[in-house]
Amino acid sequence: MRQALSTLRLRGEHSVDALSRPSILMARARHAALPLTGFVGVVVTWWAVVELLRVPAFIVPSPASVLQALAERRETLFVHAQYTAGVVVAGFLIAVAVAVPLALVIAFSRTLSAIVYPLIVSTQAVPKVALAPLILMWLGFGPRGGVLVTVLISFFPVVVDTVLGLKAMPDELRYLALSMGARRWRTFIKMRVPFALPFLFGGMKIAITLSVVGAVVGEFVGSNRGLGYYLLVASANARTADVFADVFVLSLLALTLFGLMQLLERIVVPWPRKGSG
Amino acid sequence: MKGWENEGLASSHVIGPAGARGVGGDRAVIRTTARRTSVRLVNVSKRYAVEDGELLAIDEVSLEIAAGSFVSILGPSGCGKSTLLLLTAGILPATRGSIFIGEEMVTRPRTDVGFAFQQDVLLEWRRVIDNVLLPAEMRGLRRRDYVERARALLGLVGLGDFERCYPAELSGGMRQRAALVRALVMHLPLLLLDEPFGALDAFTRDQLTVDFQHLWWSLQPTVLFVTHSISEAVFLADKVVVMTPRPGQVGAVIDIDLPRPRRLDLRASREFGAYTTRLREIFFRYGVLHEPDYGAIAT
């Protein structure tokens, strides 16, 4: 921001006064207020519908009773959330650790790519939910099965995006590197990798949200802990407010992890890019 | 031969009193003993393998380019102009014929040529100064030996205040200026430019053209300048090489005998017009240009 302003000043296209402090604060406030308005609107509508149509609480509970459930079950929910978060993070990290080397192989060896790529694409054709019972039979109850389901669901976007990224370097830069007598590893480190990083983060942001889905699916099928497990138990007992509370915590978990990825992206890929403002 | 190559890369470029500043000082940093080389192409042909067989991109091209001269290569799209540059730089091997830079035959990628393209291909994650110093870094040389020259060149193209900016914060014209400085920073004897102003708007293009002429005049490297603009080719060059439509052959070589420095309004002069008319006629002959049949509409 500071940089952009100083650029504007240097170019002399706008005076800085045009973007004075108060108007920047106003713009920031609008920026924060508008999404909030959307959320408030949804909650108010939800509340109104439940109250006016007298919907039974076991079908759709009111926002107040969901809040109450959140407060009453906070310790239980926290314990389950910790467990699920562990599975999500472990699955995500393994997925990235598997996906990046695979992407390197696919991007740099035409032969290996021809062998490996169709295989990876076919794994995506298999619905992971259908595989879950099998995985549990092999790995048993407990976190390991959940982690494997998570890995299977989330590694694919990382592979695809990283391959795209590793191939994103324009030919002209390759010529330039050659004319500079650059060694291959130097071209790789100084050009190809930075080109690939934004793509890698694109894939990882998709993967982290898919990882939450994977962990919940794993817990649906076979687990006695975690938010997915608690969701099943609560809905089997018609404790709908608890189900809502559980889903709320799950969304919060997914949002937090996504936010962390964005933060990490801003640290690793700090340079301004076209279209990023 | 090896020694000749290394000398250009590692030697200090600073001439004049140390710490000299201001415009005069910058000139002292930039202007050094001229480094230039002749280029010779002898019966060069290039075939590409394509899906259904082969494509002859360049057919028996022979050229003599004197050291320190500015040569425009003019031709329609797809006539192999860009290929010619890649062959000269040793990035692509010629199918037949041979190319000499100075006395040395080109057999592998040359590290003594500067490149600029239609796309500036600046690295978005590097500030302007770091982009400009990339050639030194990629060669494994010490940055600080080139910083002073880089700053002086940036000042000369009007980017002195922008060396700490990221490319995304610059306009298209400023980005291309930075790319030109990157090509010049090593003080190499041969510049290969592939439509460097092709992606710019007309005003920016005019400004960069005169600025680049000025820059070339101070440094005097040998330049091979690919373009499909007749007036740009004439304005900048000592010699215009006309390429035929595919397969690319040398159709004509025209010496441009106009005094330097050339000003933008030279393009309105009769002498300039004579050159562009002559060149346009050649492209009419090739069928690259043709007038519509006005009579057909009237009746």
Instruction: Count how many pairs of residues, chain A against chain B, have C-beta atoms within 8 Å.
Output: 73
Alpha carbons A89 and A261: distance in angstroms, whole number: 12
Question: Which superfamily does B20-112+188-288 belong to?
Answer: P-loop containing nucleotide triphosphate hydrolases (3.40.50.300)
Q: HSE on the CB side for B235, CA within 13 Å?
A: 24
Q: Is residue A181 a contact partner of residue A226, using CB atoms and an 8 Å limit?
A: no
CB contact under 8 A, B138 and A181: yes
Which chain A residues touch B168 with a CB distance below 8 Å?
Answer: 271-274, 276
Q: Is residue A204 a contact partner of residue A165, using CB atoms and an 8 Å limit?
A: no
pLDDT of amino acid B7: 33
Alpha carbons B116 and A162: distance in angstroms, whole number: 28
Alpha carbons A123 and B101: distance in angstroms, whole number: 54
**From the list B111, B126, B171, which residue is nearest A179 (CB)?**
B111
Which chain B residues touch A178 with a CB distance below 8 Å?
Answer: 89, 91, 109
Note the residue count of chain B.
Answer: 299
Kindly state whether B165 is in contact with chain A, defined as any CB-CB distance less than 8 angstroms: yes
CB contact under 8 A, A4 and B169: yes
Q: Percent of chain A, pLDDT > 90?
A: 62
Kindly state whether B168 is in contact with chain A, defined as any CB-CB distance less than 8 angstroms: yes
CB contact under 8 A, B115 and A181: no
DSSP single-letter state for residue A189: I
Which chain A residues touch B86 with a CB distance below 8 Å?
Answer: 175
Alpha carbons B10 and B237: distance in angstroms, whole number: 30
Tell me which residues of chain B have a pLDDT lower than 70: 1-34, 297-299
Kindly state whether B169 is in contact with chain A, defined as any CB-CB distance less than 8 angstroms: yes
DSSP single-letter state for residue A104: H
pLDDT in tens, A176-231: 999 998 888 999 999 999 999 999 999 999 999 999 999 999 998 888 899 999 99
ipTM: 0.82
pLDDT of amino acid A29: 81
A95 or B36, which is more confident?
A95
pLDDT in tens, A24-43: 788 888 888 888 888 899 99
Kindly state whether A168 is in contact with chain B, defined as any CB-CB distance less than 8 angstroms: no
Kindly state whether A180 is in contact with chain B, defined as any CB-CB distance less than 8 angstroms: yes
Note the residue count of chain A.
Answer: 277
Is residue A7's pLDDT more than 50? no
pLDDT of amino acid B79: 84
The residue in chain B having the minimum alpha-carbon distance to the alpha carbon of residue A5 is B169
Is residue A6's pLDDT more than 60? no
pLDDT of amino acid B20: 35
A259 or B215, which is more confident?
A259
CB contact under 8 A, A272 and B169: yes
- Preferred mutation among A5, A172, A192, A273 to probe B, highest tally of B CBs within 10 A: A172
pTM: 0.80
Dihedral sign from CA coordinates of A261, A265, A268, A270: negative
**From the list B115, B166, B168, which residue is nearest A175 (CB)?**
B115
Q: How is residue B165 written in tokens?
A: 């900016």
Kindly state whether B221 is in contact with chain A, defined as any CB-CB distance less than 8 angstroms: no
- Smallest CA–CA separation between A11 and chain B, in Å? 9
A7 or B184, which is more confident?
B184
CB contact under 8 A, B140 and A186: yes
pLDDT in tens, B121-155: 999 999 999 999 999 999 889 999 999 999 999 99
Is residue A75's pLDDT more than 60? yes
CB contact under 8 A, B114 and A179: yes
- Smallest CA–CA separation between A188 and chain B, in Å? 11
pLDDT of amino acid A143: 87
CB contact under 8 A, A182 and B138: yes
CB contact under 8 A, B111 and A7: no
Dihedral sign from CA coordinates of B169, B170, B171, B172: negative
B55 to A210, B20, B88, B247, B258: CA distances (angstroms): 47, 54, 19, 8, 38
Could you give the residue ranges of the DSSP H alpha helices within A222-239? 227-236
Q: Is residue B175 a contact partner of residue B167, using CB atoms and an 8 Å limit?
A: yes
Closest Cα partner for B192 from A184, A178, A190? A178
Domain map of chain B by residue range? 20-112+188-288
CB atoms within 10 A of CB B3: 6
Q: Which CATH class is domain A63-268?
A: mainly alpha
CB atoms within 10 A of CB B234: 26
Q: HSE on the CB side for B62, CA within 13 Å?
A: 4
pLDDT in tens, B63-107: 999 999 999 999 988 888 999 999 999 999 999 999 999 999 999
Kindly state the greatest CA–CA separation across chain A.
Answer: 76
Distance between first and last Cα of chain A: 9
**From the list B114, B125, B135, which residue is nearest A271 (CB)?**
B125
Buried b / exposed e along B73-90 (16+ C-beta atoms within 10 A): bbbbeebbbbbbbbbbbb
Kindly compute the dihedral angle of the four CA atoms of residues A79, A85, A87, A91, in this order, to the nearest 10 degrees.
180
pLDDT of amino acid B26: 53
**From the list B111, B124, B161, which residue is nearest A271 (CB)?**
B124
CB contact under 8 A, B165 and A271: no
DSSP single-letter state for residue A192: I
Q: Is residue B175 a contact partner of residue B122, using CB atoms and an 8 Å limit?
A: yes
pLDDT in tens, A98-126: 999 999 999 999 899 999 888 888 888 88
Is residue A1's pLDDT more than 60? no
Is residue A266's pLDDT more than 50? yes
Distance between first and last Cα of chain B: 69
CA A17 to chain CA centroid, nearest Å:
39
- Smallest CA–CA separation between A171 and chain B, in Å? 10
Residue the block writes with tokens 């290394």: B6
User: Of chain B residues 98-137, which have a CB less than 8 A from chain A?
Assistant: 109-111, 113-115, 117, 119, 121, 123-126, 134-135, 137
pLDDT of amino acid A21: 67
pLDDT of amino acid A164: 94
Domain map of chain A by residue range? 2-52, 63-268
Q: How is residue A205 written in tokens?
A: 């942001």
